Amino acid sequence: MAAVTEQAPVTDVNPKLDADPVSCVPWPIPPPNPALEVKYTKMFINNEWYDASGGATFNDINPSTEKVTARIAEASEADVDKAVAAATAAFQPGSPWRKMDASDRGVLINKLADLIDENKYYLACLETLDSGKPYTHTFFMDTTGISKLLRYYAGWTDKMHGKTVPVDGDYLSYTLVQPMGVCGLILPWNMPLITMGMKLGPALACGNTVVIKPDENTPLTALFLASLTKEAGFPAGVFNVVPGGPTAGAALVNHHGVQKISFTGSIEIGRKIEEASSKTNMKRLTLELSGNCPNIIFADADLDYAVEQAHQAVFMNQGQMCTAGARTFVHEDIYDEFVKKSVARASKKMVADPFQLYSEQGPQISRKHFDSIMGYIKAGKEEGAKLECGGSRHGDKGLYIQPTVFSGVTDEMKIAKEEIFGPVQCILKFSTIEEVVERANNTQYGLAAGIFTQNVSVALEISKALESGTVWVNCYNAFAVQSPFGGLKMSGKGKEMGEESLREFSEIKTVTLKLPQIQNISFKSNAVRQYSGST
């Protein structure tokens, strides 16, 4: 992979490298500020900022440079207790939050979305600084994503209602849709803002209070959002943030005052959360876990389009996507051509400082994760896959990895069996529909899948047969706030986004009243018809 300065830009998005940066993208975008001030580093509890108990802090590292961006308060068990106590108090009957009309909750959530839009530039720069995601992505995708999610759920606040139920006997029975209480939202580092929006939107829309634990690699945007909730006018205790790592996460999961955990992360920690929940107070759980998704390219697909889509399916977000279409299954008739074109595309990918507007791929999130991806690349080579391009670090500073393509990958190889979560495309060959469906499903994961074909019948049949929570046909990562998303099998349980997510953050209560029928009213007489004016 050539260094950025030696290489011509390759996509429509960055037509001229030597141009004024702002004209490098076709849409208006303010030039980024890599030297922005980090405004918030403390815990946010009850609408106030606190140091962690004992003054504990941890380093927030910039993955582009591996230098410390800021020192962040590290929440202990006692700090999590304090946050849960604040969220519990805010949830008490008669509190401002509980007394608020549902429609006014919607107004508040929309106000928060307005403030996000007003602060879009700062938030995008902050997310890029913290996560290494290209600024063009954080500006156009992540900040827009959380704002859209919040607005979608703001619209739901006064549209969730129960039913009247036609029960037997002299009873009136109806259901109420009610909030659960204190919800712990545990976030990953790969999509900090968007995963926060997926959880926060429905949690607040349903009337819950939240304690958010951002990932220790990316705490900054959750803390900035906290300042916006205060500015928007959310009552104290409704929104709390406890930065930290596994200790803070486990404290939240083990807490008897927390009714619900919505978690995005690894299967390993998802399992721990299930166990801890069953040993404490049987929390309601939504678990969005790992994936190793198949993307199936048939011989009749539009080849150039499929190559580009399959490339984006793997390499988007530095390959750090739970939905990454890392197992690219390609029909034997087009296999060689597909590999050639995919290698050409990956070799031209612009790996660069994420604050450069032409950057398509920034650094990996952490040294630990960088080493893990390099370990997978080594295993691919050792197990006999053909390294077509990439395979090494990019440059000599920061956690950049060359876009890597392996051909000749077989199902038994480690790189095909496990989630790499990095910029590594594994291209596998298949012959028949039956074979590819069986191989695609032969995994513990079941998050998402892609199909590229012009044959609608094939696409629809395979969509039914694939064991995954989402199937994209002739597109990939086509998320929409209105459509539910979530994994099957070991990829998790529960849904985020769409109406379905509201069920994850609410409880149904049945209320039944004894209503004996009034015996002296007769509906048999003409009186009823006369009363209603009929002849």
Answer whether 46's CB lies under 8 Å from 54's CB: no
Instruction: With CA atoms as reference, report the closest residue to 217 among 371, 422, 61, 69.
Output: 61
The arrangement of strands across the sheet holding 424-430 comes to 386-389, 404-407, 424-430, 327-331, 294-297, 448-452, 470-473
- Using CB under 6 A, pick the residue from 90, 125, 180, 187 that binds ligand NAD: 187
For residue 487, state whether it binds ligand NAD (rule: CB under 6 A). Answer: yes
Cβ of 125: how many Cβ atoms within 10 Å? Answer: 21
Q: In whole angstroms, give the CA distance from residue 321 to residue 308.
A: 17
SS3 content of the chain, % helix, strand, coil (to 5): 40, 20, 40
CA atoms within 13 A on the CB side of 408: 9
Which of 180, 258, 269, 502 is in the footprint of ligand NAD by CB under 6 A?
A: 269
List the one residue from 132, 188, 192, 390 that touches ligand NAD (CB under 6 A).
Answer: 188
Q: Which of 26, 30, 31, 246 binds ligand NAD (CB under 6 A)?
A: 246
| Residue 447 touches ligand NAD, criterion: CB under 6 A | yes
The correct pick among 42, 272, 417, 503 for binding ligand NAD (CB under 6 A) is 272
Q: Which of 97, 298, 421, 430 binds ligand NAD (CB under 6 A)?
A: 421
CB of 320 to ligand NAD, least distance (A): 7
- Token pair in block for residue 233: 């006018």
User: By CB under 6 A, which span of 17-25, 282-290, 372-380, 501-509 interacts with ligand NAD?
Assistant: 282-290
Q: Which residue has the tokens 């309601």?
A: 284
60 or 288: CB nearest ligand NAD: 288
Give Cα separations from 390 to 385, 423, 503 (angstroms): 13, 9, 44
Build a one-symbol-per-residue string for 134-173: x at contacts with ligand NAD by CB under 6 A, - elsewhere: ----------------------------------------
Q: Count the residues in the chain.
A: 535
Instruction: Kindly list the catalytic residues.
Output: 288, 322
Examine residue 325 and tell whether it contacts ligand NAD (CB under 6 A). Answer: no
Q: Could you tell me the smallest distance in angstroms from the CB atom of residue 247 to ligand NAD?
A: 8
Interface residue with ligand NAD among 186, 232, 357, 424 (CB under 6 A) is 186
Q: Which residues contact 351 (CB under 8 A, 6 or more apart)?
A: 1, 4, 359, 360, 361, 362, 394, 395, 400, 401, 402, 403
By beta carbon distance, the residue nearest ligand NAD is 249
**Residue 291 touches ligand NAD, criterion: CB under 6 A:** yes
Question: Quick check: 131 binds ligand NAD (CB under 6 A)?
Answer: no
Q: Between residues 430 and 472, which has the closer beta carbon with respect to ligand NAD? A: 472
Residues 341, 509: Cα–Cα separation, whole Å: 57
Q: Which of these ranges, 69-77, 134-142, 185-193, 307-315, lies near ligand NAD under the rule CB under 6 A?
A: 185-193
**Using CB under 6 A as the criterion, which residues of the chain lie in contact with ligand NAD when the complex forms?**
186-191, 213, 215-216, 245-246, 249-250, 253, 264-266, 269, 272-273, 288-291, 322, 419, 421, 447, 487, 492
